[in-house]
Amino acid sequence: MDLRIEHGERVLLLGPSGAGKSTLLAGLAGLLPEDSGEREGTITVDGADPRQVRERVGIVFQDPQSQLVMARAGDDVAFGLENRGVPTDEIWPRVDEALHRVGFPYGPERATAALSGGEAQRLALAGVFALRPGLLLLDEPTANLDPAGAALVRQAIADTLAGSDTTMVLVEHRVAEALPLVDRVVVLEPGAGVRYDGPPGQVFAAHGETLAAAGVWVPGQALPRRRAANPAGPVLITAEGLGLPPRLVPTDLTVRAGEALAVLGPNGVGKSTLALLLGGLLRPGTGRAAASVELAGRDADVPPHRWRAPVLAARIGSVFQDPEHQFVRSTVFEELAVGPRATGQPEAAVRATVEELLSRLRLDRLAGANPYTLSGGEARRLSVATALATTPRLLILDEPTFGQDRRTWIELVDLLAERRDAGQGVVAVTHDADFVAALADREVILALTGGHRRPGRPGWLQGGLPAGRSNRWSTLDRQVTR
């Protein structure tokens, strides 16, 4: 590819999943090692090799956990400042300013290991904003955030850019919301470099339908909706006071066969913890997850976290918030084959299942690749496919549409709708409003009822409470009416 970005430009980088957007950002940040594969051509930042001017560049990765290096939040933000020799008396005022700017809901003493995915995202952004880089590289900075948090971060980006000559390159799937931040759109095509380049209005007006068909998110392009073909069936699993303090307070809910249930709520409320508890992957601290005979058979009196691994894999398929946490094999094909083999399927059936999922989710060209070399969107599709491969009665998915282009997003919705209509239960923890509108039959909303608001941040729900206040959460369960 050939691309020139002028000083002070704000560029939105688009393209189908696997087009190389994250790789380009890594190259601009000077983070591509010499042995990263066959590489040709040159990259320069201010006329120099990016590896020689890293102090001028700030990058937020697609996976924020990969750039948190300290045990406490404030120390993590201060880490980069200390490494760049910022005077000591300037460091902590800049740390506090950056944490406030991104709406980080805790103080600087907060343990980084205790953060949710969205909270880690805001902390990673604070670490970069504190550096005040000349080149700002952002790889889906709002992907793990609830709508209020995403809006706050976009405002923080706008505030950071306002009145400065900072250059920004942004990868973002929430295109409509990102447009006010940019003045140029560059569209990449897999294997073909830059396909379109120009002002956003001109690019979308001239090529909108073509781009949407190729998988690029284009504002104003309608998305399909998949209504349930049948009424919800019998109960599969019930949560009765299920919790793991302080990550999730006691929660009640019911999941039925043949329905898609969306679990919503602000970052840090415990949605991912709830998913792991329902999936039998954590021991509850309070209450229990009770599987019905419909799901558990003779094991109905045994909680899911005590089921043997092959039994659990055959009945409940789980997708983690971080897909790499569940990869155990060295190729994509073998990763998909793990579940069917563990449940005793014949090898011919295993191969048929794997090949169908590879084709449906556009992973067939990557069958021999190592799962850890995939792009974020490809890794997410692989993690969803591993859960689908055993045809479990219950699917529990944490952010299943993260990092997807428009085309693969639609394919995922279609696959999950087919499984729901075949009688499987689907539980999706998500911040994707389009996904909820397209698929969900019912919503459970975890919401704060006893918290406080940070001064100057109206409407932003916080998890860190004053002494004597309880961190109480309410659960609202509602049928979706359309």
- Do residues 109 and 74 make contact, with C-beta atoms less than 8 angstroms apart? yes
User: Is the pLDDT confidence value at 128 over 70?
Assistant: yes
Cα 41 → chain centroid: 32
What would the mean pLDDT of 9-13 be, rounded to a whole number? 97
Can you tell me the distance from the alpha carbon of 93 to that of 48, in angstroms, rounded to the nearest whole number?
Answer: 32
Determine the pLDDT at residue 116.
Answer: 87
Determine the pLDDT at residue 238.
Answer: 97
What confidence tier does 478 reach under pLDDT thresholds 50, 70, 90? low
Q: Which residues of 162-171 are buried (b: 16+ CB within 10 A; e: fewer)?
A: eeeebbbbbb
Determine the pLDDT at residue 474.
Answer: 57
Q: Which residues, in sequence order, are bridge partners of residue 445?
A: 264, 476
Cα 231 → chain centroid: 30
Determine the pLDDT at residue 36.
Answer: 62
Sign of CA dihedral 447, 451, 457, 458: positive
User: Is the pLDDT confidence value at 462 over 90?
Assistant: no
Lowest mean pLDDT among 333-337, 430-434, 446-450: 446-450
Cβ atoms within 10 A of the Cβ of 155, count? 14
**Tokens 């800049």 belong to which residue?**
94
Q: Which residues, in sequence order, are bridge partners of residue 427?
A: 261, 396
User: Is the pLDDT confidence value at 479 over 70?
Assistant: no
How would you classify the pairing of strands 442-448 and 260-264? parallel
Cα 235 → chain centroid: 29
* Exposed / middle / buried, residue 281 (Cβ in 10 Å: 0-12, 13-18, 19+): middle
Percent helix, percent strand, percent coil in the chain, to nearest 5 = 40, 20, 40
User: Is the pLDDT confidence value at 281 over 60?
Assistant: yes
- Do residues 271 and 446 make contact, with C-beta atoms less than 8 angstroms apart? yes
Q: Please list, in sequence order, all residues whose beta carbon lies within 8 angstroms of the beta carbon of residue 299, skipping any fewer than 6 positions away.
A: 291, 307, 311
User: Is the pLDDT confidence value at 173 over 90?
Assistant: no
What confidence tier does 143 reach under pLDDT thresholds 50, 70, 90? confident
Q: For 194-203, how does the pLDDT look when each residue is reduced to its tens digit (9 = 90+)?
A: 999 999 999 9
Q: Which residues, in sequence order, are bridge partners of residue 477?
A: 444
What confidence tier does 303 reach under pLDDT thresholds 50, 70, 90? very high
User: Is the pLDDT confidence value at 301 over 50?
Assistant: yes
Determine the pLDDT at residue 37.
Answer: 63
- Do residues 140 and 198 make contact, with C-beta atoms less than 8 angstroms apart? no
Determine the pLDDT at residue 455.
Answer: 28
Which helix or strand (DSSP H or E) is residue 119 part of? helix 117-129
User: Vertex 33, ends 10 and 55: CA angle to 5°?
Assistant: 50
Determine the pLDDT at residue 471.
Answer: 36
Cβ atoms within 10 A of the Cβ of 457, count? 14
CATH no. for 235-479: 3.40.50.300
- DSSP letters spanning 313-356: HHHEEEE-SSGGGG--SSSHHHHHHHHHHHTT--HHHHHHHHHH
Determine the pLDDT at residue 367.
Answer: 98
Which helix or strand (DSSP H or E) is residue 381 part of? helix 376-388
- Do residues 264 and 444 make contact, with C-beta atoms less than 8 angstroms apart? yes
User: Is the pLDDT confidence value at 277 over 80?
Assistant: yes
User: Is the pLDDT confidence value at 50 over 60?
Assistant: yes
What would the mean pLDDT of 359-386 be, rounded to a whole number? 95
Name the most confidently modeled range: 31-45, 108-122, 412-426, 466-480: 412-426
What would the mean pLDDT of 62-72 be, rounded to a whole number? 90
What would the mean pLDDT of 19-24 be, rounded to a whole number? 91
What are the structure tokens assigned to 385, written together? 């496919």
Lowest mean pLDDT among 10-14, 22-26, 383-387: 22-26
Q: Rounded mean pLDDT of the chain?
A: 90
Q: Which residue has the higher pLDDT, 222 or 334?
A: 334
Can you tell me the distance from the alpha carbon of 235 to that of 423, in angstroms, rounded to the nearest whole number?
Answer: 11
Can you tell me the distance from the alpha carbon of 437 to that of 47, in angstroms, rounded to the nearest whole number?
Answer: 47
> Helices (H) and strands (E) in the chain — how many of each?
15, 15
Percentage of residues of the chain with pLDDT beyond 90:
77
User: Is the pLDDT confidence value at 297 over 80?
Assistant: yes
CATH 3.40.50.300 fits 10-214, yes or no: yes
In degrees and rounded to multiples of 5, residue 168 shows phi and psi of: -130, 135
Where in the sequence of the chain do the CATH 3.40.50.300 domains occur? 10-214, 235-479
Cβ atoms within 10 A of the Cβ of 83, count? 10
Determine the pLDDT at residue 436.
Answer: 96
Can you tell me the distance from the alpha carbon of 332 to that of 364, in angstroms, rounded to the nearest whole number?
Answer: 9
Amino acid at 89: D
Determine the pLDDT at residue 469.
Answer: 29
How many angstroms separate the Cα of 416 from the Cα of each of 82, 260, 297, 394, 428? 47, 9, 24, 11, 10
Q: For 224-257, how does the pLDDT look when each residue is reduced to its tens digit (9 = 90+)?
A: 999 999 999 999 999 999 999 989 999 999 999 9
Can you tell me the distance from the alpha carbon of 216 to that of 40, in angstroms, rounded to the nearest whole number?
Answer: 27
Q: Phi-psi bin for 437: left (phi > 0), alpha (psi -120 to 50), beta?
A: alpha
User: Is the pLDDT confidence value at 47 over 70?
Assistant: yes
Determine the pLDDT at residue 461.
Answer: 29
- Do residues 475 and 252 make contact, with C-beta atoms less than 8 angstroms apart? yes
Which helix or strand (DSSP H or E) is residue 255 part of? strand 248-256
- Do residues 425 and 235 make contact, with C-beta atoms less than 8 angstroms apart? no
- Do residues 74 and 108 make contact, with C-beta atoms less than 8 angstroms apart? yes
What would the mean pLDDT of 347-351 be, rounded to a whole number? 97
Q: Which residue has the higher pLDDT, 10 or 174?
A: 10
